[in-house]
Structure 1
Amino acid sequence: MSTQLQPLSHRHVLTLPPAPPAPPAVRVARETAEQALAEWGVNPGHPVVAPALLILSELVTNSVRHAAPPSEQVTVTYAAGAGCLAFAVHDRHPHQPRLHGAGTAGRGTGGLATVMELTGTLGGTAVVRGDGDGRGKSIWITLPL
């Protein structure tokens, strides 16, 4: 068995303008995801799609609400390949949230707890990847299709 990651054959990047209000930004991110998934042939009724859109909504909401003013924009990367859906939400705020343990032992009931619960239930992974300069991060979610 190979431990090397296979490249994802489909990719789309969305950049949201500086400090957009959360509801419009979330709507645009979700609509873009739905359009990309349709173009890539992912069945909108697949059991992962609705929870993935909720996870995406939570991450975009967090970035829009909490990353301004250091982050001038929020970037969403969508990707898919054989049996895999991935997306990342990037901002330039230096805080890197602790994902593992979010929502456990009374440590949170907000958006990240929802993200981690859904990701785990779906058999996916979540990681925070810091920017090289320490001034931003991406939260990557990978889910099996």
Structure 2
Amino acid sequence: MESRGSCPAHPASYEGVWRFTAPAVDVSVPRARHAVRDLLDRQGVPVQDDILQGLLLIVSELVTNAVRHAALLSPELAVEVAIDAEWVRVSVEDSHPYRPTALETDHARTGGRGLLLVREITAQAGGSCDVEHTAGGGKVVWAALPLKTQL
């Protein structure tokens, strides 16, 4: 069997892509976070605890944003978890066309900093994040983190 680049010839047993949908309501935030944690546990993903905690906070922030800002045009959201040998990527998709941006830090505000937090957690872990448009006119907000802390 031929190996391409740095991809192993045989994927690790925990690798794969999982997707689930949820209504765009508040209760979906903790449910999505628990579903992602349970998936990583079930699959035996060797993720470091600091990365796991950051990833779960990112899931909470992305689902919260979809619930708060997209529910009117997108009554359902989708969460996808993609895992390979070195990375885990979480994304939240909704049908709302608005492309959010990370807001500047404003210490007087008590909210509105979710994407800024996602960007900070991602950068500290050595990962990446972005927002992409979908073919159907909605968007996907995603973050990819290494399974191990980058030195």
TM-score scaled by structure 2? Answer: 0.79
142, 145, 150: which one aligns with 1:143: 145
CA contact (8 A) 1:103 1:114 kept: no
Alpha-carbon distance, 1:46 to partner = 2.6
CA contact (8 A) 1:103 1:109 kept: no
Name the Cα RMSD after superposition: 2.7
Which blocks of at least 5 consecutive residues in structure 2 are unaligned? none
Local SS of the residue matching 1:90: strand
**What letter matches 2:52 in structure 1?**
V
Aligned pairs for 1:1-145 (under 5 A) are 2=5, 9-17=15-23, 19-20=24-25, 22=26, 24-43=27-46, 46-99=49-102, 102-103=103-104, 110-133=113-136, 135-145=137-147
Alpha-carbon distance, 1:81 to partner = 1.0
| Number of aligned residue pairs | 136
1:79-119 Cα offsets, whole Å, 9 max, x none, are 111011111000111101134xx43699x961111111111
1:55-101 Cα offsets, whole Å, 9 max, x none, are 110010000111021112010001111011111000111101134xx
Local SS of the residue matching 1:87: strand
Local SS of the residue matching 2:50: coil
| Consecutive aligned runs of 4 or more in structure 1 exceeding 4 Å deviation | 1-4
CA distance in 2, matches of 1:126, 1:44: 18
- Higher Rg of the two aligned structures: 2
**What letter matches 1:39 in structure 2?**
R
CA distance in 1, matches of 2:73, 2:112: 25
CA spacing shift, 1:3–1:30, aligned 2, 3 Å: same
Identity of aligned residues (%): 36
TM-score scaled by structure 1? Answer: 0.82
